[in-house]
Amino acid sequence: MKTLKQIIHQSKKRLLQMHYESGVGHIGGNLSCLDILMVLHHRVMGPEDHFILSKGHAAGALYITLWSMEKLKDEDLKLFHKEPTRLSGHPAPRWKEEITFATGSLGHGFSLASGLALAKRLQGKKGRIFCLTSDGEWQEGSNWEALIFAAHQKLTNLTLIVDENGLQGFGTTREVAGQEKLLDRLKPFGLPISEVDGHDTEALEKALKDPAPGPRVVVAHTVKGKGVSFMENKMEWHYLPLKDEQFKTALEELGEA
Amino acid sequence: MRNEFCEAMVQRASDPDFVFLTGDLGFMALEPLQKAAGARFINAGVAEQNMVSVAAGLASQGLKPWAYSIAPFIYARPLEQVRNDVCLHDLPVTLVGNGGGYAYGVMGGTHHAIEDYGILLSLLHMNVYVPAFGADVAPAVERILRSGHPAYLRLGRDEKSKEADPGPYAPWRKVLSGAGPAVAVVGPIAGTLMKDFAGLENAKRPNLWVLTELPLDEKTVPAQFLKDLETSGHLVVVEEHVAHGGAGEMIGRFLLLSGRAPKKFSHFCAQGYLSGYYGSQGFHRKECGLTSENILKVTGLA
């Protein structure tokens, strides 16, 4: 039986391989949230729970997570970014139970998750809803609409996770939007908020399993490109694909589990 | 039609899949529904983007949400949410827009909805329902619920005279017969045309067809409509909507594709704000030539 750490390690390598073989980017943002997705799916979520990936550009991390749970096969991953494929660059709609919504345009996921959370309540069903947003995504006004709604409706079964890697499309969140600490902007809503190292799997598990009624916010401090030195905290790895040498180096750096 | 709509919603409020969202609108109109639906009546606040995505989330779990606002705030403000979250997933969310066309009159251009169904019908899986008369609202609601697809319900104000009987709801309905041209009309302006055309002598009286569902379902275009069109050779379309994406384009396209191009085509439609001045719904209609008088004049019946 593999430990979660071993599974994550193997998945990280598989993620790099998938991106390398497909020749596509978005690796940095995938590596920043992979630990979160893995902990959530392997340790936290049960069959009644749902997950919404609001930062749809991290589709690769979601596909790899589903692969690690044997919900996707190697043959599926080979089609990432190819054609015809269901594994498009951002999650596609209506083909996989675990992918409740197609996302990719930012600022939709938290509202969708609120709808799911409200449905559970109206239908008297059990289950929690988890939603992962990026940090740059909080420049979308619709996220604030969602936060107002979720707080006011007291959606106790809803958990918002923010992948705070501090980098966005064309600069840091501070440079682009004066967004030094998102936490300070979220605090006035009066919801339970926890801060966690987004790469510390035990801390993540503890924060995500917190039984306190929500809506709860987990701000995960992460590193874009985590685990590959030449990618870490580098904005260009939002976009770049891996060259042969880089792929080799990255795998070497990750080493054995 | 707001009262008829509220009544139709009250009738469905105890359905297990019923849920109603409003963008903080419906004061002095939706209170009976609020009472009937209890926790399933949700004021989502002045936040239409969130409201539409929440509706999509609800629909993904088997509910059939209704999302209500003044027309432009339900199709224009949250258009991307409608496109991605509702339509891309073919979810049974119904957007309800009160005040189609120029119905909000002197409230101004921000409150008008003159390009609503053209925009929405360019989205996948979307169906549009435009009741022409108050009595159309309840059957339209039933048909929406049966369809199981994204829908837009465009509400207005019933303009028909009390005595007029347009017959039961149908996607296409002939409400007047004569030897004049075939006139297809969308929306409550149908009631006014009925009133104004009914007294015309047979030779000049148009065959007035009311169209309540879009896009045009080619299979349901009535044979009699095509016959009326063939006899007169003149197609007239009347709608309180811009030409682009409207029923005129849809019917024209259908006729061209099926080799039935009429000899003449007149399209009476919304044209924005030609003078730059604002006024009642009637003011704007007049400015666009959306009046019985102008229709008769242009079509040579006056």
* Residue A158 belongs to domain with CATH number: 3.40.50.970
CA pair distance B166, B164, nearest whole angstrom: 6
ipTM of the complex: 0.97
Q: How far is B54 from chain A (nearest CA, A)?
A: 4
Q: Which residue has the tokens 């049960």?
A: A46
Query: Residue A257: is its pLDDT beyond 80?
Result: no
What are A80-93's pLDDT values in tens digits? 999 999 999 999 99
Q: Which residues of chain A does B63 touch, with a Cβ-Cβ cutoff of 8 Å?
A: 119, 122-123
A1 pLDDT exceeds 90? no
- Determine the average pLDDT of the residues in B250-267: 96
Which residues of B touch chain A, with CB atoms under 8 Å apart?
A: 19, 39-40, 42, 44-45, 47, 49-50, 52-63, 80-81, 84-85, 88-90
The whole-number average pLDDT for the span A25-48 is 96
Q: A120 vs B62: CB contact, 8 Å cut-off?
A: no
Count of domains observed in chain A: 1
Angle between helices A59-68 and A27-39 (to 10 degrees): 40
What is the model's pLDDT at position B183?
A: 98
The answer to whether the Cβ–Cβ distance between B58 and A122 falls below 8 Å is yes
Interface contact B61-A116, CB threshold 8 A: yes
**Model confidence at A238, in pLDDT bands (50, 70, 90)?**
confident
Q: Say whether B84 and A116 touch across the interface (CB within 8 A).
A: no
What does the alpha-carbon distance between residue B204 and residue B181 come to, in Å, rounded to a whole number? 8
CATH architecture of B172-298: 3-Layer(aba) Sandwich (3.40)
Query: What per-residue confidence (pLDDT) applies to B302?
Result: 79
List of chain A residues whose C-beta atoms are within 8 Å of the C-beta of residue B81: 108, 111, 142
Q: Does position A30 have pLDDT exceeding 90, yes or no?
A: yes
Report chain B residues whose CB lies below 8 A from the CB of A94. 89-90
Two structure tokens written together for A148: 């107002």
> Helix-strand-coil percent breakdown of chain A, rounded to 5?
50, 10, 40
Cα B283 from Cα B278, distance rounded (Å): 8
B61 to A119: CB separation less than 8 angstroms, yes or no:
yes
Instruction: With CB atoms and an 8 Å threshold, state whether B60 touches A119.
Output: yes
Report CB contact under 8 Å: B50, A100: no
Pairwise CA distance, residues A30 & A57, whole Å: 8
Task: Provide mean pLDDT across the span B123-144.
Answer: 98
Q: Closest Cα of chain B to A234: distance in Å? A: 31
Nearest to A103 by CA among A133, A135, A142: A133
* pLDDT tens for each residue of B219-258: 999 999 999 999 999 999 999 999 999 999 999 999 999 9
Gap from A52 CA to chain B (nearest CA, Å): 10
CA distance A57 to chain B (A): 15
Interval A164-182 mean pLDDT: 93
The model's pLDDT over B68-112, given as tens digits with 9 standing for 90+, comes to 999 999 999 999 999 999 999 999 999 999 999 999 999 999 999
| Separation CA A219–CA A232 (nearest Å) | 19
Residue A180: per-residue pLDDT: 87
Mean per-residue pLDDT of chain A: 96
A101 vs B contacts (CB less than 8 Å):
56-57, 60, 85, 89
In this prediction, residue B199 carries a pLDDT of 94
Between CA B115 and CA B118 the distance in angstroms is 6
A119–B62: do the CB atoms touch at under 8 Å? yes
pLDDT in tens, A96-110: 999 999 999 999 999
Q: Which residue has the tokens 């073989």?
A: A21
Question: What band does A139 get if pLDDT is binned at 50, 70 and 90?
Answer: very high
Secondary structure in 3-state letters for A92-160: CCCCCCCCCCCCCCCCCHHHHHHHHHHHHHHHCCCCCEEEEEECHHHHCHHHHHHHHHHHHCCCCCEEE
- Do A20 and A230 touch, CB atoms closer than 8 A? no
Its CATH class, for the domain covering B2-155, is alpha beta
Chain-chain contact of B63 with A114 (C-beta, under 8 angstroms): no
Contact A122 B19 (CB under 8 A): yes
8 Å CB contact of A116 and B57:
yes
Residue A148: its chain B contacts at CB < 8 A? 45, 47, 50
For B62, name the nearest residue in chain A, comparing CA atoms only: A119
Contact B57/A115, CB-based, under 8 Å?
Answer: yes
CA dihedral in degrees (A44, A48, A54, A56; nearest 10)?
A: 90
**B59: chain A residues, CB-CB within 8 Å:** 115
| Mean of pLDDT values over B118-124 | 98
Q: For all residues of chain B together, what is the average pLDDT?
A: 97
Q: Which domain holds residue A132?
A: 4-254
Average pLDDT of the residues in A184-190: 95
Please list every residue in chain A whose beta carbon sits closer than 8 Å to the beta carbon of residue B17. none
pLDDT at B74: 98
Q: Which residues of B touch A113 (CB under 8 A)?
A: 57
Identify all chain B residues contacting A141, using CB atoms and an 8 Å cutoff. Answer: 49
Fold match, B2-155 / B172-298? yes
* Alpha carbons A32 and A117: distance in angstroms, whole number: 26
Q: Residue B136: helix, strand or coil by DSSP?
A: helix
- Give dist(CA B241, CA B183) in Å, integer: 16
Q: Which residues from chain A sit within 8 angstroms of residue B39, using beta carbons?
A: 122
pLDDT over 80 at B59, yes or no: yes
Tell me which chain B residue has its CA closest to the CA of residue A122.
B40
- B139's tokens: 């059957």
Cβ contact (<8 Å) for B89 and A116?
Answer: no
Which of A88, A112, A140, A152 best probes binding to B when mutated, by most B CB atoms within 10 angstroms?
A112
Cβ A122–B54 below 8 Å, yes or no? Answer: no
Nearest to A145 among B40, B47, B59 (CB): B47
* Inter-chain residue contact B57 with A145, CB threshold 8 Å: no
Report the pLDDT value the prediction gives residue A239, as an integer from 0 to 100. 87
| Angle subtended at Cα B110 by Cα B107 and Cα B113, rounded to the nearest 5 degrees | 95
Interface test with B, best of A98, A123, A145 (most B CBs within 10 A): A145
Mutate to test the interface with B, among A52, A137, A142, A153 (most CBs of B within 10 A): A142
- Residue-level pLDDT at B301: 86
